[in-house]
Amino acid sequence: MNLLIDGSSLLHRVHWINDKRNFKTSSGEDFGDIYMFLNSIRCLAKLFNTRQIYIAWDKRIIYPSTNFRQQAMDGEYKAHRDKEKNKSVYSNEKYLVLTLQSLGIKNIYPRTMEADDVISWLSVNLTGPNVVVSTDGDLLQLITSDTSFYHPYKKKLIDVASFEKDIGINQSSYLYYKAILGDVSDNIPGVVGYGKVKAKKLAKELIDDPNCLEKLDQTIKNVLIKNLSLMNLSMGYSLAGPEEVVAYKEQLDILEGLEPNLDKFKEYCNQFEFHRFLKGFNEWESIFGESRLLTVLKALGTR
């Protein structure tokens, strides 16, 4: 099983929780974000009994750069976010990524797009089953027979069978529903005058009637067409051009042979004064230690 984790989303969550706890080392350094992030990863790996973990980040390989979403919205896409405030979230990102690598976890970055696009591509191109881990409802559209969605704070796993019961709308009309409502977190305006009830009704009509879109008022139609192009994750990495997918493939090729180095992980735990992790190190070894097959192969190779 592959865990496809929205790293930027998780890091933001733990950062603002840690900000209230004042987690500092004896020298006054604050590595609380790393501690809480790693603890979340440990819990997820244990819950799903896997160490096949891929973490997608929003940090772009080519920076500065703009993608088609930013261009389509004339710079208003996510423009309301406080960039200066968010800098503190990533202050220890370098150390976090190195520590994750020591556990054999694969960190992947978009070329010019976003973590959501990387996760979308991985969900299609990795041999499943996959579990997408995020609090971002946009990623619910990735659910298939091979890919499910896990909300880490609600502790809820959503799949094809449970989609309508859990989300309250048929999966086939979900993307239309999102396009009608817009997305406040991404600063994407929806159709004026449409709340959840009206949005569900219109989304169903758009699925049931192939000609429904053409019958709509031109203003509503324009909003829908624009929002669908912005929100449809199956289109994102393809619209970005072939170089985007090449970047994903190249990263996977490099990471293919990545194995955990728990001695290095222990060094990081000592450096960051993660005493609880060190005390319970056997658990980390049981979750992220090399597979029995690899251990046998290594032993045979020394004979």
Q: Are 167 and 139 in contact (CB under 8 A)?
A: no
CA separation, residue 201 to residues 181, 246, 261 (Å): 12, 40, 53
| Angle (nearest 5°) at CA 190 between 186 and 195 | 115
Q: What is the pLDDT of residues 209-264, one digit of tens each?
A: 999 999 999 999 999 999 999 999 988 898 889 999 999 999 999 999 899 999 99
Q: Are 61 and 247 in contact (CB under 8 A)?
A: yes
Report the CATH number of the 2-167+238-288 domain. Answer: 3.40.50.1010
Q: What is the pTM of this model?
A: 0.92
Best CA proximity match to 49, nearest among 117, 118, 129, 134: 129
State what percent of residues in the chain have pLDDT above 90: 75
- Distance, CA of 164 to CA of 143 (rounded, Å): 12
Residue 134, token pair as written in the block: 């995020």
Residue 19, token pair as written in the block: 């900000």
Best CA proximity match to 154, nearest among 178, 135, 170: 135
Between 281 and 80, the more confident residue is 281
**Phi, psi (5° rounding) for residue 136?**
-85, 115
In total, the chain counts a number of residues equal to: 303
Kindly calculate the radius of gyration of the chain based on its CA atoms and give it in whole angstroms: 21
What pLDDT does residue 16 have?
Answer: 84
